Structures are given as structure tokens and as C-alpha cells.
């Protein structure tokens, strides 16, 4: 094992939650009596609804079919009856149709032990089918359907397969729990990917507190006689981002606007590997995921294995409810997550965490004028100058904004976190991006 590596430029050290959920074992959340299952739980095109109101569905039945290659199947997390079809605003602001299922009938999968299939006998094509049939998407990030992401790139061979065992954000501890609790399955899942992609090197990257999972992993790797390597990284945010991770592990700098696959690197997070494992070996569709419930206002922070479609209110209740008045309810991590006001928001494939933050934790800073301190410049891992972008955006100089690299921004949040003047830099960058895209689109229309 090499020395502790990290990406060089930028990054911040956000605080961790003091009452961390890291040391308690993951527990199974109660099965919700009612599930709200959005048909858009991934990046790309929403799934096509194939069930009607009043229809009876089994556990794991397909309720949304992949509409295109860049889409993913959606399954029924619980057996029951489709009571409603509703329109929903997701935590990230996107609109989606959602299927409401009232619990009724038998569980066919829960508690039943399935004999794992021998994946080594399966053809690659069959494995991809299994993955796409199970609706597996990236559980750590934007939810790119896995059968589209982990394919051999046309331009380059896969040189690095990097398993992202870094917690993607502060407060989160679900990756750590998975690393500690299911190392053998993880290693087996990685072996599947190694066969699909035949990477030159395979590395499990651990950062910050997940570094202490190293011994268990080492044992699992040795037991599987695999050539997977382990790499420890510094606990700096955003270590778990694809671009910085590839920088830290493979020493390759890929600009934010490009995919790391172009540089011959594949990054997959632990939860997704395990979802693939279950899809391929057990034929299990993706209907549950591990969610960290944490924050100063949560009575008992913990990691829960949750059926998709459960409401975030259910999870909070299961964690003892609020012990203090929350000032922000966040779906996702504190750096990239979305603030919501609605406890009925469903857990989706993209919900890595539910946080209830108190006033003290927010440390919010009233917005004042930029003091040109340059803290944002020094914090940006993509080497951008957020203060310059902020000034150019104010002038609506879109050409210059693009030239200054707005599309290389990975929206990691470091600049907005550190800015002592409380300027909502990330908001401004996001808005500028969509504005520029919109104008480009309109120009394109006009040209036709």
C-alpha cells in the first residue's frame, strides 16, 4: 500500500457531525405501508409507466420500463395495489410521474435466501442484461444507469477501475458501513466488473474515516485471491468526486466538462457494486438502498436499509424523530444535497442521506459584498476562479463565462461553503449553466 495520496489543488474540510452514525450497524427500516415510487430515479429519460391505477403488483414487479438506452427500469418495492398515479416534484427540483403503492399481499423475496448464481458461467452480455433488468443506477452520484456507464469505452481501454470507498460527502457514513459489513460481496462484485471491463489496475480508494475499513477489506481481497489494490486517501472534500478521485488515485487530471472514462478510468461507488452483485448473483431488482439519517436535529442518527418509495418522514421517525428544531431538511449530503420542506418526499435511488440540520450546524452567513479574499479561488478543485465567474455572470457576459470554464464546474460546493461573504456562488454557477444552455438551444432553433 502506498502513502496517503490526495488531489493537490483546492478542497475544503467541512465539519463532520459530532454524533456520527458511523459506529452503529446498518439496520433494516420498517417496511412502509405506502410507497411513492417516482419513474425518474436516475439521470436521463424517465421510465415508462406500465401499470394502471387499481392494478395489483408483486414485490419487485416492473412498474416502469426503460424508455430508451439512457433510462432505467423501476420496480415495485413492496407488493400491493396501485392506488394512485401522481405528479411529483423531486428533491432535486425535477418533475416526475410517481406510482403510489399501498402495501397488500405477500413478500416473495424478503427473508427468503436465494442460492447465488455462478456468474462466472454467464456471458458478458447476459451480465449486462441482468444489471439493466434490475434497474441498477449509480447510487452515489447522479444516478447514471449502470449498464450504460460501465461498458468498454470506444476511445480507450480501461486502465483504471476505481472503486469509490470514500464517503461522497461529510455527515455520510453509509459507504463505511457497507465496507465494514459486506466486504466479501463487495470483492465479488468488483470481480464481476473486472471481467466486464478488464482494467489494467483495480483499486479500492478509501478516504477519511473509511480508511479504517482497510483491514477487513484486505482479508476479503486475500481470500478471493484477487489483485485488487487498496489505496488510502486524505479526508479532504471532495475526495469522493470522480474527477478528484481519478486525480488522486491515477494521477490523471480530467477537466470537469469531460468524463473520466475518456481518460481510461472507471469509477464506481461501493453501494452500486453491491447493487450489481445482487442483480447478477441473486437476480434481485434494485428496490432498497442504504440511507444515512443524520444531523443535529435527529435523535438517533443511523444508517438504514430502506425500501425505495418510503417517505423521509418515516425514516426520521424511525431514528427517534427530532431532538431539536431543524432549520434545514436536506435530501442528500450537506455539500450537494437539496433542501426540502416536505416530509412526504420519497426515498429514491438517488437519496444517499436525509439530514435535519440545526441552526448551529448551518453556520449560515448573511450575504455581503465580495471582499476579494480569493478563498473561493484557492478552494476550487477544478482550478476555476469562482469570484471571476461571479463578476462575469453579473455582467451577463456569457461568452466570457464559458471561456472562464463554467462547464468545468462540478458543483462540488467548495466555493460556496468557504466564501466568507456568503455569496451563493454555486447557485449562480448552476443558473448560468442552464441559462447558457437555454440560449444555445434557442439559437439552434432559430438557425433551423
Partner 1 sequence: MNERTELNTSRLIVAGSPQIHDALSTTKLNWLVAAGVAPAALWGFIQFGLPAVTVVLAGVGAAALTEAVLPKRVGSVRDGNAILIGLLMSLMFPPAAPWYLAAVSAVFAVGIVKWAFGGLGHAILNPAVAGRVLAQVLAPQEMSRYAIPLALGGGEFEHGATAVMAVRSAAGSVEPLQRLQELGYPRSVLDQAVTAWLNEHLFEPVGVVLPSGYVDPFIGLAPGGIGETSALLLLVASAVLLGRRVISWQVPLAFFAGFAAAIAVWGSVAFGGVALRGDVLFHSLHGGVLFLMFFCATDNTGAPATGNGMVLYGLAAGVLAAVLRLFGLYAEGLAVAVLVVSFFVPLINHVTKPARFGFSRRRRKPLLYKPRG
Binding to ligand SF4 (CB under 6 A) within 346-375 occurs at 370-375
**Is residue 327 part of the contact set for partner 1 (CB under 8 A)?**
yes
Distance (Å) of CA 10 to CA 241, 342, 433, 436 = 13, 34, 22, 26
Residue that the C-alpha cell 482479508 belongs to = 219
User: Does the protein bind ligand SF4 through residue 401 (CB under 6 A)?
Assistant: no
Distance (Å, rounded) from C-alpha 147 to C-alpha 133? 9
Render 170-185 in DSSP notation, one character per residue.
TT--HHHHHHHH-HHH
Residue 421 binds partner 1, judged by CB under 8 A: yes
Question: Which class for 60: exposed (0-12), middle (13-18), buried (19 or more C-beta within 10 A)?
Answer: buried
Closer CB to ligand SF4, residue 348 or residue 428? 428
227, 195 contact by CB (below 8 A): no
Q: Which is nearer to partner 1, 179 or 382 (CB)?
A: 382
Considering only residues 412 to 431 of the shown chain, the ones binding ligand SF4 according to CB under 6 A are: 412-415, 419-421, 423, 425-426, 429
Is residue 321 near partner 1 by the rule CB under 8 A? yes
Candidates 325, 438, 441, 442; binder of partner 1 (CB under 8 A) is 325
423 binds, among ligand SF4, partner 1, none (CB under 5 to 8 A by kind): ligand SF4
251's contact among partner 1, ligand SF4, none, with CB below 5 to 8 A by partner kind, is: none
**Angle at the Cα of 139 from the Cα atoms of 419 and 147, rounded to 5 degrees:** 125
Q: 253-274: buried (b, 16+ CB within 10 Å) or exposed (e) per residue?
A: ebebeeebbebbbbbbbbbbbb
Q: Which of 290, 352, 411, 432 binds ligand SF4 (CB under 6 A)?
A: 411
- Distance, CA of 255 to chain centre: 20
Residues 378-397, one symbol each (x = binds ligand SF4 by CB under 6 A, - = not), give: -xx-x-x-xx--x-------
The Cα 189–Cα 278 span in angstroms is 9
The C-alpha cell that represents 138 in the structure block:
449509480
User: How many helices, marked H, and strands, marked E, lie in the chain?
Assistant: 14, 17
In angstroms, what CA-CA distances link 350 with 115, 308, 342, 346, 382? 29, 10, 17, 10, 24
Residue 322: contacted member of partner 1, ligand SF4, none (CB under 5 to 8 Å, by partner type): partner 1
* Nearer of residues 153 and 424 to ligand SF4, judged by Cβ: 424
With CB under 5 to 8 Å by kind, the binding choice for 287 among ligand SF4, partner 1, none is none
216's torsion region: left (phi>0), alpha (psi -120 to 50) or beta?
A: alpha
Q: What is the C-alpha separation between 45 and 96, in angstroms, rounded?
A: 11
Q: Could you tell me which stretch among 66-74, 80-88, 119-127, 353-361 binds partner 1 (CB under 8 A)?
A: 353-361
Binders of partner 1 among residues 213 to 242 (CB under 8 A) are none
- Answer yes or no whether residue 373 interacts with partner 1 by CB under 8 A: yes
- The CA distances from residue 318 to 210, 324, 334, 338, in Å, are 25, 16, 21, 21
- CA-based end-to-end distance of the chain: 57
Tell me: does residue 35 bind ligand SF4 (CB under 6 A). no
Contact with partner 1 (CB under 8 A) among 117, 200, 372, 438: 372
Q: For partner 1, which residue of 137, 203, 279, 355 counts as binding (CB under 8 A)?
A: 355
Least distance to partner 1, CB of residue 218, Å: 31
Q: Is 362 in the site for partner 1 (CB under 8 A)?
A: yes
Rule CB under 6 A: is residue 332 a binding residue for ligand SF4? Answer: no
**Closest separation in Å from C-beta 238 to ligand SF4:** 7
Closer Cβ to partner 1, 62 or 207, answer by number: 207
Segment contacting partner 1 (CB under 8 A): 33-41, 94-102, 225-233, 255-263? 255-263
HEC-encoded secondary structure of 102-152: EECCCCCCCCCCCCCCCHHHCCHHHHHHHHHHCCCECCCCCCCEHHHHCCC
Among 144, 162, 409, 432, binds ligand SF4 (CB under 6 A): 409
C-alpha cell belonging to residue 136:
441498477
Alpha-carbon span 63 to 97, nearest angstrom: 12
Best CA proximity match to 14, nearest among 399, 416, 447, 423:
416
Q: Is 353 in the site for partner 1 (CB under 8 A)?
A: no
* 185 lines the binding site for ligand SF4 (CB under 6 A): no
Cβ at position 177, least distance to partner 1 in Å = 22
Q: How far is the CB of 13 from partner 1 (least distance, A)?
A: 9
Q: Does 127 bind ligand SF4 (CB under 6 A)?
A: no
x/- map, 169-208, partner 1, by CB under 8 A: -x--------------------------------------
For partner 1, the binding residue among 163, 213, 276, 316 (CB under 8 A) is 316
Contact between 420 and 379 (Cβ < 8 Å): no
* 76 within 8 A of 34, measured Cβ to Cβ: no
Site residues (vs ligand SF4, CB under 6 A): 370-376, 379-380, 382, 384, 386-387, 390, 409-415, 419-421, 423, 425-426, 429
Amino acid at each position: 500500500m502506498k502513502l496517503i495520496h490526495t488531489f493537490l489543488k483546492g478542497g475544503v474540510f467541512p465539519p463532520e457531525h459530532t454524533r456520527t452514525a458511523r459506529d452503529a450497524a446498518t439496520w433494516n427500516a420498517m417496511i412502509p405501508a405506502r410507497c411513492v415510487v417516482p419513474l425518474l430515479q436516475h439521470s436521463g429519460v424517465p421510465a415508462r409507466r406500465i401499470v394502471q391505477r387499481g392494478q395489483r403488483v408483486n414485490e419487485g414487479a416492473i412498474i416502469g420500463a426503460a424508455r430508451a438506452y439512457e433510462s432505467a427500469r423501476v420496480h415495485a418495492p413492496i407488493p400491493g395495489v396501485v392506488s394512485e398515479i401522481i405528479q411529483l416534484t423531486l428533491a432535486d427540483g425535477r418533475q416526475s410521474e410517481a406510482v403510489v403503492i399501498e402495501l397488500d399481499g405477500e413478500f416473495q423475496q424478503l427473508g427468503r435466501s436465494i442460492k447465488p448464481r455462478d456468474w462466472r458461467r454467464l456471458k458478458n452480455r447476459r451480465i449486462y442484461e441482468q444489471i439493466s433488468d434490475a434497474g441498477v443506477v449509480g447510487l452515489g452520484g447522479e444516478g447514471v444507469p449502470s449498464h450504460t456507464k460501465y461498458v468498454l469505452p470506444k476511445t480507450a481501454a480501461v486502465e483504471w477501475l476505481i472503486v469509490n470507498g470514500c464517503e461522497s460527502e461529510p455527515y455520510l457514513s453509509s459507504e463505511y458501513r457497507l465496507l465494514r459489513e459486506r466486504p466479501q460481496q463487495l470483492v465479488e462484485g468488483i470481480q464481476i466488473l473486472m471481467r466486464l471491463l478488464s482494467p489494467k489496475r483495480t483499486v479500492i480508494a478509501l478516504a477519511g474515516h473509511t480508511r479504517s475499513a482497510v483491514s477487513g477489506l484486505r482479508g476479503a481481497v486475500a481470500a478471493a485471491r484477487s489483485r485488487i489494490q487498496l489505496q488510502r486517501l486524505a479526508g479532504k472534500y471532495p475526495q469522493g468526486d470522480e474527477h478528484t478521485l481519478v486525480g488522486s488515485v491515477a494521477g490523471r487530471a480530467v477537466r470537469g466538462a469531460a468524463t473520466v472514462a475518456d481518460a481510461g478510468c472507471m469509477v464506481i461507488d461501493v453501494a452500486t457494486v453491491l447493487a450489481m452483485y445482487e442483480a447478477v448473483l441473486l437476480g434481485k431488482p434494485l428496490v432498497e438502498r442504504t440511507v444515512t439519517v443524520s444531523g443535529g436535529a435527529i435523535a438517533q442518527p443511523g444508517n438504514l436499509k430502506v425500501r425505495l418509495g418510503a417517505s423521509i418522514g418515516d425514516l426520521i421517525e424511525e431514528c427517534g424523530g427530532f431532538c431539536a428544531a431543524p432549520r434545514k431538511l436536506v435530501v442528500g449530503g450537506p455539500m450537494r444535497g437539496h433542501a426540502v420542506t416536505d416530509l412526504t418526499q420519497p426515498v429514491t435511488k438517488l437519496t444517499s442521506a436525509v439530514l435535519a440540520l440545526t441552526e448551529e450546524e448551518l453556520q449560515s452567513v448573511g450575504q455581503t459584498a465580495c471582499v476579494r479574499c480569493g478563498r473561493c479561488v484557492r478552494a476550487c478543485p477544478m482550478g476555476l476562479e469562482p469570484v471571476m465567474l461571479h463578476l462575469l455572470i453579473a455582467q451577463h457576459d456569457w461568452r466570457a463565462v464559458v471561456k472562464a470554464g463554467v462547464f468545468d464546474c462540478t458543483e462540488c460546493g467548495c466555493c460556496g461553503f468557504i466564501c466568507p461573504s456568503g455569496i451563493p456562488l454555486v447557485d449562480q454557477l448552476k443558473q448560468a449553466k442552464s441559462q447558457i444552455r437555454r440560449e444555445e438551444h434557442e439559437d439552434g432553433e432559430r438557425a433551423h
